[in-house]
Amino acid sequence: MTDRPLLRMKGITKSFLGVRVLHGVDLDLYPGELHALVGENGAGKSTLMKVLAGVHRADEGAVELDGTPVSFDHPVRAQRAGVATVFQEFNLLPERTVAGNVHLGREIRRRGWVDVRAMERATGDLLDDLGLEGISPRAKVRSLSVAEQQVVEIVKALSQDARIISMDEPTASLADHEVEVLYRLIARLRERDVALLYVSHRLKEIFDLATTITVLKDGHRVDTVAAGDIGPAELVRTMVGRPVSQVFPDRVEPRGERVGEVRLDVRGGGNEQVDGVDLTVRGGEIVGLAGLQGSGRTEIAQALFGMERFTRGEVRVDGRRVDPRSPRQAVRSGVVLVSEDRKTQGLALNQSILANGRLALDAVWPLGARRRSRRIPGILESLELVARGGHGQEVRFLSGGNQQKVVLAKWLAADPGVMVLDEPTRGIDVGAKQAVYRLMRELSAEGVAIVLISSELPELIGMSDRLVVLDDGRVAGELPADSSEEAVMAMATGAPPDEAPEQDPERHDPRTLGGGPPVSDPPENGPRSHPEEAAP
Amino acid sequence: MTRSPVSPSLLDPRSLPTRIGTTALVYAALVVILAVSAVLVSAQGANLFTPANTVDLLTRSSLLGFLAIGMTLVILCRSLDLSVGYVAALSTVVAATVMAGDPGRIALGVGAALGVCALIGLANGLVVTKLRVNPFIATLGMGLIIKGYLDTNFQGPAGDVPSAFQVFGYARIGLLPVSTVVMLVLAAVAIWALARTRLGHHMYAVGGDAEVARLSGVRVATPVVTAHVLCSVLAGVAGLLLAARFGTGNALVYGNGYELEAIAAVVLGGTYLLGGRGGVAGTIAGVLILATLDTVFNVLAVDPFVKDVLRGTIVIAAVALYARGQLSRAAVRVRFPSGGTPPPEDPPDPPGGPSPRDPEPAVGGAR
pLDDT in tens, chain B (367 residues): 333 433 333 333 333 333 457 788 889 989 999 999 999 899 888 888 889 999 999 999 999 999 999 999 999 999 999 999 999 999 999 999 999 999 999 999 999 999 999 999 999 999 999 999 999 999 999 999 999 999 999 888 889 999 999 999 999 998 899 999 999 999 999 999 999 999 999 999 999 999 899 888 899 999 999 999 999 999 999 999 999 999 999 999 998 889 999 999 999 998 988 899 999 999 999 999 999 999 998 888 888 888 888 888 888 888 787 766 554 444 455 667 665 444 444 444 444 444 344 343 333 333 3
For the segment(s) A246-334+416-536, the CATH number from 3.40.50.720, 3.40.50.970, 3.30.70.2740, 3.40.50.300 is 3.40.50.300
Contacts of A56 (CB under 8 A, 6+ apart): A14, A47, A50
Residue B328, chain A, CB below 8 Å: the answer is no
- pLDDT on residue B7: 39
Q: Report the phi/psi class of residue A362: left, alpha or beta, with left for phi > 0 and alpha for psi in -120 to 50.
A: alpha
d(CA A236, CA A244): 16
> Which of B22, B194, B363 should be substituted to probe chain A, the one whose Cβ sees the most A Cβ atoms within 10 Å?
B363
CATH topology of domain A7-230: Rossmann fold (3.40.50)
- pLDDT on residue B334: 67
- pLDDT on residue A357: 87
- pLDDT on residue A123: 94
- pLDDT on residue A42: 67
In this complex, which of A105, A179, A476 lies closest to B217 when CB atoms are compared? A105
**Please, how many CA atoms are within 13 Å of residue B99, restricted to the half-sphere of its CB?**
29
Residue B14, chain A, CB below 8 Å: the answer is yes
Residue intervals of chain A classified under CATH 3.40.50.300 are: 7-230, 246-334+416-536
d(CA B124, CA B231): 10
Domain layout of chain B by residue ranges: 21-324
- CATH class for the domain made up of B21-324: mainly alpha
In this complex, which of B1, B277, B337 lies closest to A184 when CB atoms are compared? B1
Cα–Cα distances (Å) from A291 to A342, A352, B52, B217, B337, in that order, read 21, 35, 73, 38, 21
Check if the interface score ipTM surpasses 0.90: no
Low-confidence stretches of chain A (pLDDT beneath 50): 1, 243-245, 498-536
- pLDDT on residue B24: 86
CB A63 within 8 A of CB A38: no
CB within 8 Å: B359 and A106: no
- pLDDT on residue A524: 39
Residue B366, chain A, CB below 8 Å: the answer is yes
CB B235 within 8 A of CB B74: no
- In chain A, positions 10-69, which contact chain B (CB-CB < 8 Å)? none
- pTM beyond cutoff 0.80: no
CA-based R_g, chain B, Å:
26
What letter does residue A10 receive in the DSSP assignment? E
The pLDDT tens digits of the residues spanning A9-20 come to: 999 998 876 677
Residues of B in contact with A157 (CB under 8 A): none
CB B58 within 8 A of CB B295: no
Task: Calculate ∠ Cα B179-B183-B185, nearest 5°.
Answer: 115
Interstrand relation of A164-168 and A195-199 (parallel, antiparallel or unpaired): parallel
CB within 8 Å: B359 and A499: yes
